[in-house]
């Protein structure tokens, strides 16, 4: 119907048409369980290239009332769920990528103004009789549409946290953004579901989330959404058999993230491996490689020692509870390590509360970063290790 209102199913069709498609439609059943309930606010944070955008495309195709997507979903896992027919193609969907608006504007005020203007324009095209001429409030426009249609909205927001990565130091801009999201979605009758994805969890104000109505699923604890974060081991085994790739080598290079009982693999790495047929690090192609350099060089007592320990194959204890969910509010090394977990550069074992470098792909990125910055501690550690190995061999 529009660019943002009921965008159709093209994005999800492209995923289905791709050489590699792993069925993650089971996620829809989990989301259906909270539609039109008090738990209808969901925020999923995970690193880049872990399938966030594909998930929003899938949800848009499933809920969008302007198309009939039975042909896409009838053969997939979700078709077996009791709720499949009840919710399919029954809602007005608003699907947005906040990075688009941030990139095209020069301030928070301009971004929110353009965002509301574009959303209202789509609503006006879809419901010309219900949106008032000259309306400049997205909340009022959605209220008016819902008052006449009685069809609530599914709101899907990708890259919701881009502002906290681009406007790292601008507390006032961050507050305006959070206030807008709160007014737009919280306790509004027109919201059947609000589903946000990003890299960072929701920003904390003091000790609580600024949007405390959202349930968060993160790389620290993904809860019941764990099977839909990346590729799990069974899915990777199937891919290795199909493409005749050595699974043991795949596991060494790309395994390592642990969420509950699941081994989680980065989908981007597996897709690139099947195309390039080469074991290498594809991580630096995700666009956040340079963000690791200032983080691991921060002057916090014990940070470098922890990095070196993890490079050697050990894990380190980390307190993840004090992190403020932004890119600048670091009080100690634990905050830095926690951010690296959310960025995907470290993995986290919830049971032992320890962080570690998950696999060879990420280990190479850390090695490159420390080599570029000529870490004397790492050089000394390697030299001492070599001496110890030689002494051991010589008894």
Q: Read off the pLDDT of residues 145-183 as tens digits, 9 standing for 90 and up.
A: 999 999 999 999 999 999 988 888 898 999 999 999 999
pLDDT at 383: 55
CB of 264 closer than 8 Å to CB of 217: no
Cross-strand pairs, 231: 265
Give CA–CA dist 136/120, Å, rounded.
Answer: 7
Residues in Cβ contact with 124 at an 8 Å cutoff, skipping those fewer than 6 apart = 131, 135, 141
Give CA–CA dist 23/36, Å, rounded.
Answer: 25
- Provide the sign of the torsion angle of the four alpha carbons 77, 12, 21, 162, taken in this order: negative
Predicted confidence band of residue 256 (pLDDT cuts 50, 70, 90): confident
How far CA 337 is from CA of 315, 343, 347, in Å, comes to 12, 10, 10
Q: Is the pLDDT of residue 119 over 90?
A: yes
Q: Among candidates 185, 171, 242, which has minimal Cα distance to 213?
A: 185
Three-class secondary structure of residue 349 per DSSP: strand
What one-character-per-residue DSSP string does 294-338 give? Answer: HHHTS--TTHHHHHHHHHTT--EE---SS--SSSS---SHHHHHH
Q: Is the pLDDT of residue 382 over 50?
A: yes
Give CA–CA dist 32/89, Å, rounded.
Answer: 12
Q: Is the pLDDT of residue 208 over 70?
A: no
- pTM here is 0.91
Predicted confidence band of residue 287 (pLDDT cuts 50, 70, 90): very low
């Amino acid at each position: 119907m529009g660019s943002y209102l009921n965008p159709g199913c093209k994005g999800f069709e492209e995923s289905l048409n791709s050489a590699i498609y792993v069925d993650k439609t089971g996620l829809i059943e989990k989301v259906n369980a909270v539609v039109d309930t008090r738990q209808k606010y969901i925020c999923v944070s995970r690193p880049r290239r872990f399938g966030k955008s594909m998930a929003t495309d899938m949800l848009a195709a499933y809920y969008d009332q302007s198309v009939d997507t039975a042909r896409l979903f009838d053969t997939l896992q979700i078709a077996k769920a009791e709720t499949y027919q009840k919710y399919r193609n029954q809602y007005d969907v608003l699907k947005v990528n906040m990075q688009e608006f941030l990139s095209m504007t020069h301030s928070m005020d301009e971004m929110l103004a353009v965002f509301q203007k574009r959303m209202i324009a789509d609503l006006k095209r879809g419901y010309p009789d219900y949106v008032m001429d000259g309306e400049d409030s997205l909340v009022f426009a959605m209220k008016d549409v819902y008052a006449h249609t009685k069809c609530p909205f599914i709101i899907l927001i990708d890259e919701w946290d881009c502002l906290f990565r681009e406007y790292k130091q601008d507390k006032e801009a961050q507050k305006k953004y959070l206030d807008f999201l709160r007014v737009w979605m919280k306790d509004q009758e027109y919201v059947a579901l609000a589903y946000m994805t990003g890299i960072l969890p929701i920003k904390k104000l003091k000790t609580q989330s600024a949007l405390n109505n959202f349930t968060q699923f993160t790389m620290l604890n993904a809860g019941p959404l764990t099977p839909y974060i990346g590729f799990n081991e069974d899915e990777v085994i199937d891919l290795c058999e199909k493409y005749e790739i050595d699974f043991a080598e795949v596991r060494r290079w790309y395994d390592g993230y642990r969420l509950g009982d699941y081994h989680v693999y980065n989908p981007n790495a597996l897709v690139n491996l099947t195309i390039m047929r080469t074991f290498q690090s594809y991580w630096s192609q995700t666009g956040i490689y340079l963000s690791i350099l200032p983080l691991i060089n921060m002057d916090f007592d014990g940070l470098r020692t922890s990095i070196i320990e993890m490079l050697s194959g050990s894990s380190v204890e980390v307190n993840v509870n004090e992190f403020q969910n932004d890119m600048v509010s670091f009080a100690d090394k634990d905050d830095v390590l926690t951010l690296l977990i959310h960025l995907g550069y470290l993995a986290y074992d919830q049971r032992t509360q320890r962080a570690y470098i998950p696999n060879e792909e990420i280990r190479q990125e850390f090695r490159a970063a420390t080599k570029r910055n000529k870490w004397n501690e790492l050089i000394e550690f390697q030299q001492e290790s070599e001496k110890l190995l030689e002494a051991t061999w010589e008894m």
